[in-house]
A and B are shown apart, each in its own frame.
Chain A
């Protein structure tokens, strides 16, 4: 059995499970944000009249709002607080960061756990070796809250073997976007994806996160990277970090293997209208952008902020473009401040926003007028998600977003060499050969 099968077997009290089998498994962690939490609470209060079985396993994070802009939204948040108090669940209120980053940084996610949530990017937690899947509100209300359990169909596993090294100026974000373009949206429906091979193994924990983040766009149920010394070192850095539940695959070959060589991959941009519409940055370079944002599930990491500061260098954000920076957690904001990045980017003309999920669906910020365009590290770009359906959302790496913020148009980060032209593998400074 592989890691996913071992976790599901243990959680459902079975000696073994196989793909296609339906099991009912214990859930170790339920994570919800302010909107999914509200919708779940509504269903729970109206249709289920049982106490929450394991309130300590449930955590709600207010990340779509950092400060409610309307009375209606304030009422939603207050209702969530009251519901959290009534049932004794964990609550991270406004300002704590993006749901997935916040729960991870606070030690709510550990390797080997069964993690569920209604946010569709919940599978990102496979990066740490958890079995993490997105379920709907009725699963949470119907079985997870009252019984601490959920039903699962054991997924088939597809191993994605990645070799090579992305081009200088590109990053794991570009490799992940490129993979979605290559494989195609929804093409690996219902599967568990294992990211393997030298490319995946050589990535830092937070860059591995960018691979598992995008598995949902391939249609996957979950994704994982076999835990190794990178995983273990990261777990030890977490509050209460523990390897007690850790499971490893038994070494059996995956039934399906897809192999990709990352070597040719430069900066990529997912263009409207869907995440699978991926092109090399050259194809859309020069497109005017009124907004650039580091934030959301795929950005706002310390790595992103540091890279943005390097790309911006001593220059200023373009006068026609607003550059939003949204730290993914309070911890990241503190780290960025200690590194001097907060003032540097502020003085370059960027605007800092509270730790949150930023412009994700424009609940608290980031609505676009017709004809406006945003380039960001967010995870989604469907038309109408942020204000006007006639606005455009482009998804890219932190380097491409920062280079575009300075240029006022979508820009190739390989051409955005800061004064003094640093040379660093995979980061800034490698000027494109014409």
Chain B
């Protein structure tokens, strides 16, 4: 399961509060999406394009466990999010709502804003096509690949209810 796109980088410990600000949480998604990560990089919500890849540092998506944070990031149109580590609820939510996520502990060292990046969830490989550097994370659990392939947990449960009976 491979994704290729233009890179946007962010730092360590980015909380979900920067993905969905508390004052927008009850607004419609087309309003929320205009403010995703704007306090860290005002250009991001304005200029992000479909298929771009977000590359962050450690503990990305800490704070709230609400899936709306992952949904807002997905709504920007990015193809994949990569981080050195994710906060676990955020990682879980990404797969449950259909946003591909990959952990690679050297991700920040090899990615720079604007580089072309290729992320492979099946193998755990991360390549910078601009610089030729590469890194390696753990392969994604087959259960999670299955979940992404059908579009998230709710669809998985609808298609294979026997898993949960």
Contacts and interface: CB of A to CB of B under 8 A. Distances in A.
Interface string A44-82: 000110000000000000000000000011001000000
B17 interface: yes
B62 A185 contact: yes
B154 A389 contact: no
B88 interface: yes
A207 interface: no
Interface stretch (A104-112, A142-150, A161-169, A239-247): A142-150
A90 interface: no
B67 A39 contact: yes
How big is the B interface, by class? 35 or more
Contact of B22 (A36, A276, A362): A362
How big is the A interface, by class? 35 or more
A138 B63 contact: no
A98 interface: no
Interface string B148-165: 000011101110010111
Contacts of B18: 382, 384
Interface string B61-91: 0111111101000000000000001111100
A153 B67 contact: no
B64 A120 contact: yes
B51 to A, nearest CB: 23
A22 B22 contact: no
Given A119-B65, A120-B63, A382-B15, A139 B22 contact: no
Contacts of A47: 154
Interface stretch (A129-137, A293-301, A323-331, A347-355): A129-137
A147 B87 CA distance: 26
Contacts of A383: 39
Interface string B1-15: 000000000000101
A363 interface: yes
Nearest to B89: A134
Given A36-B66, A118-B65, A274 B87 contact: no
A138 B97 contact: yes
A274 to B, nearest CB: 5
A56 B165 CA distance: 18
A344 to B, nearest CB: 33
Nearest to B15: A382
A217 interface: yes
Contacts of B87: 186, 189, 219
A216 B62 CA distance: 9
B67 A24 contact: no
B17 A384 contact: yes
Given A43-B154, A143-B157, A189 B85 contact: yes
Q: Which of A76, A134, A186, A383 has most B Cβ within 10 Å?
A: A186
A138 B154 contact: yes
A142 B96 contact: yes
Given A35-B25, A149-B164, A185-B13, A139 B153 contact: yes
A385 B22 contact: yes
A294 B158 CA distance: 45
A179 B88 CA distance: 20
Given A22-B143, A120-B63, A221-B88, A139 B164 contact: no
A137 B157 contact: no
Contacts of B63: 120, 380, 382
B85 A219 contact: yes
B112 interface: no
Nearest to B153: A142
Contacts of A385: 17, 22
Contact of A136 (B26, B67, B163): B67
A147 B157 CA distance: 9
A282 B93 CA distance: 40
A139 B93 CA distance: 8
B58 interface: yes
B21 interface: yes
Given A134-B65, A382-B17, A384-B21, A141 B85 contact: no
Contacts of B92: 135-136, 139
Nearest to B57: A186
A122 interface: yes
A24 B66 contact: no
A47 B141 CA distance: 25
29 contacts: A24-B163, A48-B154, A118-B65, A120-B89, A122-B65, A134-B65, A135-B65, A136-B66, A136-B70, A136-B92, A136-B96, A137-B66, A138-B96, A141-B154, A142-B96, A146-B157, A147-B161, A147-B165, A153-B141, A185-B62, A186-B59, A189-B87, A189-B88, A217-B62, A219-B85, A382-B17, A384-B17, A384-B21, A385-B17
Given A139-B153, A146-B164, A274-B13, 7 more contacts: A36-B66, A136-B96, A138-B93, A141-B154, A142-B96, A153-B141, A216-B62
